[in-house]
Amino acid sequence: MRLESAINAGYLDPDGINATEGSCEFVWKSYTAAFMDNQIRVIDHDAGDRTTSEGQAYAMFFALVANDRPRFDGLLRWTEVNLASGDLTSHLPAWAWGKGPNNKWGTIDSNSASDADVWIAYTLLQAGSAWKEPHYTWLGTALAKRIATEETAQIPGFGTVLLPGVSGFHNGDTYRLNASYVPLQLFLGLGRELPDGPWHQIAEQIPAMVQGSSPNGFASDWVEFKSGKGLIPASPGSYDAIRVYLWAGMLDSGTGERDSILKALSGMARYLHTNAVPPAKVKPEGGVEDPKSPVGFSAALAPYLSALGEKNLESEQMSRVQSEINSKNGLYGNPARYYDQNLLLFGLGWKSRQFWFDSQGHLITTWQGSH
């Protein structure tokens, strides 16, 4: 059987029946059944059935990885109509949509979430290339330009950064930042596609941001830059920070600064040498506040442990992942949560080489190969 045919039987067709239980393609099929409705919006059942720009962005990425263009188009259409007032070229997506206090469905938080915006812009540009669709390229370019205009800042004494959203993250000489919002490979990819934008300048500051948010080897969710003081962790590391390890682990081995980023995050691997389960929350000084994380954390750490050459630790975390699959619905954890499944899709998809990134941030998928 040709590789494409095998993939189309499962991962590339969410309705396929040949995906192997526990594989990335099986998780994607199960995820679309459990967390998407017929409008093609991603639903977080644990948060009042709301939809976020993050959920739509990740799903668009996985639809591209799956070569599922109809679902990709549905996700894009719903996002543009409901989160961007019908026009992604003129409006950044609102962060959250759901049932408001008046019991009416609509935008419930109009502020933007820049990480989701970056994922959407990046995915549109990659989709334009992969599917040879100029409209995606045009739309991704327009969205990227709006991100550059509305969600970036030049910090004196530090450099160009991505603010987490349009409002609420800059007050005087204090900037509140989030290292999980800036996967290095995405900014390298944006810089490659749009060399006139601020993407390479932002990429240059990412290693310093990771290092500043991880003074004891554990990433923090939030970090603040204050004039004269530099970067200071502003919160424990938890559900945001777990993605910092994930993004670092998925960097191509030829990516500059990869090793320095991994070195800054060494605390997690050190912890796992004596603890079977990753911590759910770690204080900035390195003390564990909550030792029991959900299963998605283990999947997110698999690429990171692989990049460090920690094969035994990686195997232990993957054993935990496989032990928590629910054979009835194909999802992981009890209950199966939206965010965990996304971490699993990233971790399992990268491990099984359904997708990967080259050293310039270009997305490569199994169905398109290196072209």
Is 25 one of the annotated active-site residues of the chain?
A: no
Is 285 one of the annotated active-site residues of the chain?
A: no
CB atoms within 10 A of CB 289: 12
CA distance 206 to 362: 18
Q: Are 291 and 279 in contact (CB under 8 A)?
A: yes
CA of 239: how far to CAs of 180, 230, 327, 340, in Å?
A: 10, 24, 26, 10
Say which residue the tokens 């691997």 belong to: 269
Say which residue the tokens 């954890």 belong to: 333
- The half-sphere exposure of 268 on its side-chain side, counting CA atoms within 13 A, is 40
CA distance 60 to 58: 5
Phi, psi values for residue 335, rounded to 5°: -80, 160
Say which residue the tokens 């008046």 belong to: 102
The active-site residue, picked from 13, 115, 117, 221, is 115
Q: Are 31 and 341 in contact (CB under 8 A)?
A: yes
Nearest to 286 by CA among 214, 190, 203: 214
Q: Are 280 and 234 in contact (CB under 8 A)?
A: no
Where are any strands of DSSP class E within 103-148?
Answer: 105-109
Task: Specify the pairing of strand 96-99 against strand 355-357.
Answer: unpaired
The active-site residue, picked from 44, 54, 68, 224, is 54
303-329: buried (b, 16+ CB within 10 Å) or exposed (e) per residue? Answer: bbbbbbebeebbebbbebbeebbeeee
Nearest to 21 by CA among 13, 12, 10: 10
Catalytic residues: 54, 115
